[in-house]
Chains A and B, each alone.
Chain A
Amino acid sequence: MTEREDFADFVQRRSGALLRSAWLLTSGDWALAEDLAQTALGEVWRHWDRVATMDAPDAYADKVLVNTSLRWRGRRWTGEIASAELPERAVAAGGFAQVDVRESLRGALRALTARQRAVIMLRYFEDRTEAETAIIMGCSVGTVKSQASKALARLRHVPGLADILTEGTAA
């Protein structure tokens, strides 16, 4: 198998997961998420000869994704969009409930810093351990813990998420 085919295989296998992670990192902006995932994969491809022999190429791709998003902070999007009025909530019934939760999540992600989004994504979306998250983000386990708890504290106050997180009714 050539290098190129190897990489095509990796993209095929990982692109869905990377895009969804990128969606979280970009506060739910598909255009940016696609850009971010594409840029990260471009970076992976540049070092493919090294990545291909790694034990955990997936974790490396995550690391590049997170680092790229942190580097982009303030350049491509400002992340936090302050708004006095909350967006009107969709009718919480049937299929709309799903959309409603998604919109709440989007708003909640915007309330987080880029680092907090990264911790949330790695820790709770990809279910990585605190140690793994720390390695990927290049920080200490203590930082992962504190960032995660700060993020949770913020999310708890986001309307639409608060009840889900504290009561677990919609879980």
Chain B
Amino acid sequence: MSSEEERLARLLKRAVPEPPVQLSADEITTQSAGLSARSWRLPALAAAAVVAIGVTVGLVAAQLTGPRGAAVPQGVSGSSARPSPHVSATCQGRTVTVPNVVGETMDAAGAVIQDAGLNQGVYFAPSTRVPAGIVMAESPAAGSRAVHGALIWLKIASAPLTSTAAPIDPGIEPTAAPTTLSPCQAAIGTPPASNATERVPNVVGMTANQARYAARAAGFSVSTALAAPPASRRVPPGTVFAQEPAAGSSARPGSGMILYAAPTS
């Protein structure tokens, strides 16, 4: 060791202060017991993420359908934001009974759902029998069990159409009979599509025109949105980079499909 190194060694020993605390073995052993419990954290996080996605989708749907309680003639939300029914996750946690809100106004129903510890997503359907703004159906059905925080879909009556334009069919409809959804299915909110038989084609990567043609040929009513693609992806101008519903899912023939294409510069 050089004299400089020796001086550094002396300096370190002198300058490093005495620790203000003592570590205890008890704390360490319990802490590492916590570490070994990591194995369950990942599935739990995954389940939480799935629930969060479901809730977000519900909120987006609620926003898309316009002002609360207003008579919106078409339920774009249903087709575009329907979560995939094939998602499954291990879920745990306490469950609650889905309250009956059929016949309530949308606002009152929302309050009841939230009081029960659940979240609601809404979509609208024209009705001649039920006054606008009233809940016609809910899914999962009243009385079934759902995980705390699960998404409950409410079908809200809207005024019958007076416009001559063809409505975009949401492609989904709640079943009338009580469903026997598992709490897991309830957690991710699955509005059932009663006669959703058409397979949604994959049109991502096509030019907007090709994609429109392909989607129409498959029996869907197509609308195209120009949007900036995610920064992480290189998308040629005019090319479809995302679609709703997702390729491979099933939807009712004639229902709406949204294509997202990169703008042509």
**Interface on A for B, CB 8 Å cutoff?**
4, 7-8, 10-12, 15-16, 18-20, 23-24, 30, 33-34, 37-38, 41-43, 45-46, 98, 101-102, 105, 120-121, 123-125, 127, 148, 152, 155-156, 161, 164-166, 168, 170-171
B28 close to A41 (CB less than 8 A): yes
Give the interface residue-count category, chain B: 20 to 34
Known contacts A23-B16, A23-B19; is-contact A45 B8 (Cβ 8 Å): no
Q: For the A-B complex with A30-B20, A171-B7 known, give 8 more contacts whose Cβ atoms are closer than 8 Å.
A: A11-B28, A12-B25, A19-B21, A152-B4, A156-B4, A164-B7, A166-B4, A168-B7
Nearest Cβ on chain B to A104's Cβ, whole angstroms: 8
Question: In the assembled complex, which residues on chain A have CB atoms less than 8 Å from the CB atom of B8?
Answer: 120, 124, 152, 155, 165
Known A-B contacts A41-B23, A124-B5; the reply to A101 vs B11 at CB < 8 A is yes
Complex contact A15–B15 (CB within 8 A) = no
| B9, A101: Cβ atoms closer than 8 Å | no
Main secondary structure of the interface of B (DSSP, over half): helix
C-alpha gap A42/B22 in the complex (Å) = 15
8 nearest A-B residue pairs (beta carbon)? A8-B25, A19-B19, A15-B23, A124-B9, A42-B32, A11-B25, A125-B12, A105-B15
Q: Mark B129-150, 1 if CB is under 8 A from A, else 0.
A: 0000000000000000000000
Contacts of A161 in B (CB 8 A): 11
B41 at the interface (CB under 8 A from A): no
A24 touches B16 (CB 8 A): yes
C-alpha gap A22/B17 in the complex (Å): 11
Min CB gap A156→B, angstroms? 8
Chain B residues positioned under 8 Å from A121 (CB to CB): 12
B residues in contact with A105, CB < 8 Å: 11-12, 15-16
Say whether, besides A15-B23, A37-B23, A125 and B16 are in contact (CB < 8 Å): yes
Q: Would you give the 0/1 interface string for B237-260, flagging 1 where the beta carbon is closer than 8 Å to chain A? A: 000000000000000000000000
A15: which B residues are within 8 A, CB to CB?
Answer: 19, 22-23
User: Closest residue of chain B to A121, judged by CB?
Assistant: B12
Please give the distance in Å from B35's CB to the nearest CB on chain A: 7
Contact with A along B10-54 (1 / 0, CB 8 A): 111111111111111111110110011000000000000000000
Question: Is A7 a contact partner of B29 (Cβ separation < 8 A)?
Answer: yes
Q: Please report the C-alpha to C-alpha distance between residue A12 and residue B22 in the assembled complex, in whole angstroms.
A: 8
Do B29 and A171 have beta carbons less than 8 Å apart? no
Q: How many Å from the CB of A14 to the closest CB on chain B?
A: 9
Complex CA gap A42/B29 in Å reads 7
Contacts of B11 in A (CB 8 A): 101, 105, 161, 164-165, 170-171
Which of B3, B8, B22, B31 has the most C-beta atoms of chain A within 10 angstroms of its own C-beta?
B8
For the complex, what is the distance from the CA of A125 to the CA of B6, rounded to whole Å? 10
Given contacts A165-B4, A168-B3, contact A124 B20 (CB under 8 A): no
Please determine whether B25 and A42 come into contact, CB atoms closer than 8 angstroms.
no
List 29 A-B pairs, Cβ < 8 Å.
Answer: A7-B28, A19-B19, A20-B16, A23-B16, A23-B17, A24-B12, A24-B16, A30-B19, A33-B19, A34-B21, A34-B23, A43-B32, A45-B25, A46-B36, A101-B14, A101-B15, A120-B8, A121-B12, A123-B5, A124-B12, A125-B9, A152-B8, A155-B8, A164-B11, A165-B4, A165-B7, A165-B11, A168-B3, A171-B7
